[in-house]
Structure 1
């Protein structure tokens, strides 16, 4: 079986964000949760709980983001 990029999900104090996902992305998220649950032997009750670790992993792997953050760069006004 392929090694997934995410590992076990750790509990942390969450904040609420409401966002709509395309149906195809939701289906992939559910499939990912099923595969991860099988791989880690840890049930994933809500596939939405994977979104935060996926975003964190994505940002951690983005070299340009890390470099800009270390340099103290912030987005220009209006570029959010």
Structure 2
């Protein structure tokens, strides 16, 4: 199987989201979902990929983490 940054997706209750994607990005998400699917199984829908990809991107962005720790946004109450 191809080594991908995303692993198995959790089966959380979906949240409705309306977003327009460039056609090329949508094709890439469709291809990614096909590669992420279990062998012989249906492809993962692009909508299910967006949140884990954004979470992974934010979690691995060192510049964002550093700015968040030291910037004005870090001083906001939770």
Normalised TM-score (structure 2): 0.74
* Partner residue in 2 for 1:15: 15
Q: Which has the higher contact order (CA 8 A, sep 6+)?
A: 1
> Does the C-alpha gap of structure 1 residues 44 and 70 become closer, same or farther in structure 2, counting only changes over 3 Å?
farther
Q: What value does the CA root-mean-square deviation take over the aligned residues?
A: 2.3
The answer to whether structure 1 residue 47 and structure 2 residue 61 are counterparts is: no
Aligned residues: 73
Post-superposition offset of 1:73: 3.2
Q: Which runs of 5+ in 1 are unaligned?
A: 75-80
After the TM superposition, list the runs of 4 or more consecutive aligned residues in structure 1 that deviate by more than 4 angstroms: 41-45
